[in-house]
Amino acid sequence: MQPRPDSRVTAGIVALAAIAVLIGGAFAGLILEGAHNLSGAAAAFDGYLFRVARFTLWQALLSTLLSVAPALLVARALSRHPAFPGRRLILQLFTVPLALPAIVAALGILALYGRAGYFAGVFAGLGGGEWSGIYGVSGILVAHVFFNLPLATRLFLEALGTIPADQWRLASQLGMGARPAFRLLEWPVLRAALPGIAGLVFMLCITSFTIILTLGGGPAATTLEVAIYQALRFDFDPARAVVLTLLQIALTFVVVAALTRLGANAVGDANL
């Protein structure tokens, strides 16, 4: 008697197939439409494209650094002080950005730091002139850190929770201080989790759209995601949109593959 197929597995396969058809069909249609204008696809490789790609990579890498590096410290502090009175409240607040729409966060940042924001007068007084707002790179970085630092913190905290309690008891019996405990117990776990978390944050930053469109402040802060939207919405140039899409996929794949390779090496070193 053959076992019955699990209904949950069947439902998952159907859902995955539907998503693949939806995304693959849309992308295939875009490629077929762009194939009619191969000269336009070749003309897409201009100075504007490389400038947009350079800014996309730069803001994504900088946003990842500003989100992941502080998250390491916050996660370690929350892990080492489980009895901290505000720990539960902080973790609950860290779940808010995960469910908050990007446009709401962007408008909230503008309400605080925009030209007519609550702190506009303070910044104008400190700068000795009119406050121009938080548009541009600064606004993009603030929004990305707002979304990704809590996510990275929770992921690092889960990684630290995998350290066996026996190791902590042994470290306590040996009188191990904070620095040796971090070097021998916490850092190997964090180092193994770091590439995967950094890769996730990088993908979220490089594909960011609403934040760039709202807080970018002009063409100087255009990313590949926004350029794809402009190519289809304003220019209706599918060939250029295909080139931009493939370039974004390639850049993301290269960075994530490098981080994955780094993560595999880190896990191997930790096992040794």
- On whether the pTM is more than 0.85, the answer is no
Residues 6+ apart with CB under 8 A from 161: 79
Q: Please classify residue 89 by burial: count the beta carbons closer than 10 Å to its beta carbon, then call 0-12 exposed, 13-18 middle and 19+ buried.
A: exposed
pLDDT at 1: 46
pLDDT at 157: 93
Residues 6+ apart with CB under 8 A from 147: 97, 100, 102, 105, 204
What counts of helices (H) and strands (E) characterise the chain?
14, 0
* Residue ranges, the chain, pLDDT below 70: 1-6, 27, 30, 33-44, 127-128, 263-272
What kind of architecture, by CATH, is found in domain 47-271?
Orthogonal Bundle (1.10)
pLDDT at 233: 85
H or E stretch at 79:
helix 47-80
Query: What residue spans define the domains of the chain?
Result: 1-36, 47-271
- The DSSP code for 186 is I
CB contact at 8 A, 114 and 138: no
pLDDT at 269: 52
pLDDT at 2: 53
Record the tokens describing residue 266, joined without a space.
């880190």
For residues 202 and 252, give the distance between their C-alpha atoms in angstroms, rounded to a whole number: 8
Tell me the pLDDT tens digit for each residue of 171-187. 888 888 888 888 888 88
Rounded (to 5) percent helix, strand, coil in the chain? 80, 0, 20
- The DSSP code for 133 is -
pLDDT at 265: 59
